[in-house]
C-alpha cells in the first residue's frame, strides 16, 4: 500500500507527548530535494516537527510546525512511518508519538533562522541520508524515497453524521446533518486544506452537500453535484467517474455515502486491498488516494 503509517508502541507506558512533522521536498534536477534542518539546542540535523497544540490534529500540527520552523507553506502528500519512542530520560515513563507526512513546498520562501532552527539546507536524498544525525530519521527518509512523492490527492469522504433515518419523516435525499455532523464538517476544513485541492464534488443528497459546504466557503470554490456519487448510484458509473478524475490529475475532494466508497476503492489494486482488509469509514472520515499518472500509488485514511 505505502510505508506503514504507524509503528508499534513499546510497552513502556501510554503516549504522553504527541507531535507531528514532515519530510519537506521540492523538485530538483535529479529528483526530489529534501529540507534538512539544524537545531542548535540539540546540535543535530533532522526534519521539521513539533508538539500538537491542545485540540489540534496531527495533520494540522504538521503543517503549522513546518511553517513555524522553516517559513515554507506546504501541501501534504502520502503518510510516512510514525515514530514512537521513549522520552523519559530517567524520570516517569513518557512515550512520544510523532506522525509524519511527505509534503511539497508550496511556494518559494526565505528561511529565516530562529530560536529552534538556525540552518536549513536543501539536499538530494543521498546527501540528506549522510547529513541526518539519527538512524530513525534516515529510516524515515528511506520510506520517503521508496515511493513517488509527486502525487495528486483524490479524497473520498463519507459524509458527516446525519439525522437518523427513523427520526426523519421527509424524503431521504433531504435528510440533513445532525448538530454533531455540522461540527464535523467545520472540523474538516483545516484538514482538507492541507492537501491543496482545487475541486470539490459531492453527491447531490443534502447530507453530503452540507458536509462540504464549509470547505467550499473557505476555499471560494463551487461545490459540484455528481450523480455518480449518490447513494445507490450505478457502481460502474461511480467507478467510471473515479477513473476520469484520476486521469485528470486534478486534486479533488469528493463526498459520498458509505455503500459507494467500496465501489470506488475497487477501481485500483491498492483500493481493493483497503476494501478487503480495513474497517469501513466512520462519518466524516475518508480515504486519500495518492495518484500519479492516473494510477493510485498510496492510500491513507484521513479524518478532520
Measured between alpha carbons, how far is 204 from 217 in angstroms, rounded to an integer?
17
Residue found by looking up cell 474497517 in the block: 279
Measured between alpha carbons, how far is 247 from 265 in angstroms, rounded to an integer?
15
Residue found by looking up cell 521540492 in the block: 26
Phi, psi torsion values for 277, nearest 5 degrees: -115, 0
Per the confidence metrics, is the pTM higher than 0.85? yes
Tens digits of per-residue pLDDT, 157-208? 999 999 999 999 999 999 999 999 999 999 999 999 999 999 999 999 999 9
Mean pLDDT value across the chain: 93
SS3 state of residue 13: coil
188 touches 284 (CB < 8 A): yes
Q: What local confidence, expressed as pLDDT, does residue 93 receive?
A: 76
Q: What local confidence, expressed as pLDDT, does residue 94 receive?
A: 84
Please choose, from the candidates 45, 62, 58, the residue with its C-alpha nearest in 3D space to the C-alpha of residue 137.
45
pLDDT tens digits for the chain (304 residues)? 454 444 444 445 688 899 999 999 999 999 999 999 999 999 999 999 999 999 999 999 999 999 999 999 999 999 999 999 888 877 777 899 999 999 999 988 889 999 999 999 999 999 999 999 999 999 999 999 999 999 999 999 999 999 999 999 999 999 999 999 999 999 999 999 999 999 999 999 999 999 999 999 999 999 999 999 999 999 999 999 999 999 999 999 999 999 999 999 999 999 998 887 778 899 999 999 999 999 999 999 999 7
Burial 166-178 (b: 16+ CB within 10 A, else e): eeeeeeeeebebb
Q: What local confidence, expressed as pLDDT, does residue 51 receive?
A: 97
Q: What local confidence, expressed as pLDDT, does residue 280 receive?
A: 86
Amino acid at each position: 500500500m505505502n510505508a506503514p503509517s504507524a509503528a508499534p508502541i513499546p510497552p513502556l507506558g501510554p503516549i504522553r507527548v504527541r507531535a507531528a512533522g514532515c519530510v519537506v521536498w521540492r523538485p530538483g534536477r535529479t529528483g526530489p530535494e529534501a529540507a534538512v534542518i539544524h537545531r542548535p539546542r540539540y546540535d543535530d540535523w533532522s526534519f521539521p516537527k513539533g508538539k500538537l497544540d491542545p485540540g489540534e490534529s496531527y495533520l494540522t500540527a504538521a503543517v503549522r510546525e513546518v511553517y513555524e520552523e522553516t517559513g515554507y507553506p506546504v501541501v501534504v502528500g502520502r503518510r510516512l512511518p510514525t515514530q514512537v519512542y521513549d522520552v523519559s530520560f530517567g524520570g516517569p515513563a513518557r512515550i512520544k508519538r510523532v506522525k509524519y507526512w511527505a509534503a511539497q513546498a508550496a511556494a518559494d520562501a526565505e528561511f529565516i533562522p530562529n530560536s529552534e532552527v538556525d540552518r536549513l539546507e536543501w539536499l538530494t536524498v543521498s546527501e540528506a541520508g549522510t547529513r541526518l544525525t539519527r538512524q530513525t530519521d534516515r529510516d524515515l527518509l528511506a520510506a520517503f524515497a521508496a515511493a513517488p512523492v509527486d502525487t495528486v490527492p483524490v479524497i473520498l469522504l463519507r459524509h458527516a453524521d446525519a439525522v437518523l433515518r427513523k427520526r426523519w419523516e421527509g424524503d431521504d435525499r433531504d435528510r440533513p446533518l445532525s448538530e454533531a455532523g455540522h461540527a464535523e464538517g467545520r472540523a474538516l476544513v483545516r484538514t482538507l486544506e492541507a492537501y491543496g485541492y482545487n475541486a470539490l464534488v459531492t453527491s447531490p443528497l443534502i447530507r453530503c452537500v452540507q458536509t462540504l459546504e464549509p470547505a467550499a466557503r473557505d476555499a471560494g470554490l463551487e461545490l459540484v453535484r455528481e450523480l455518480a456519487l449518490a447513494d445507490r448510484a450505478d457502481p460502474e458509473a461511480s467507478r467510471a467517474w473515479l477513473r476520469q478524475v484520476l486521469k485528470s490529475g486534478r486534486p479533488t475532494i469528493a463526498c459520498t455515502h458509505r455503500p459507494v466508497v467500496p465501489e470506488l476503492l475497487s477501481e485500483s489494486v491498492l483500493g481493493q486491498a483497503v476494501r478487503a482488509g480495513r474497517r469501513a469509514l466512520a462519518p466524516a472520515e475518508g480515504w486519500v488516494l495518492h495518484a500519479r499518472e492516473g494510477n493510485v500509488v498510496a492510500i491513507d485514511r484521513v479524518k478532520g
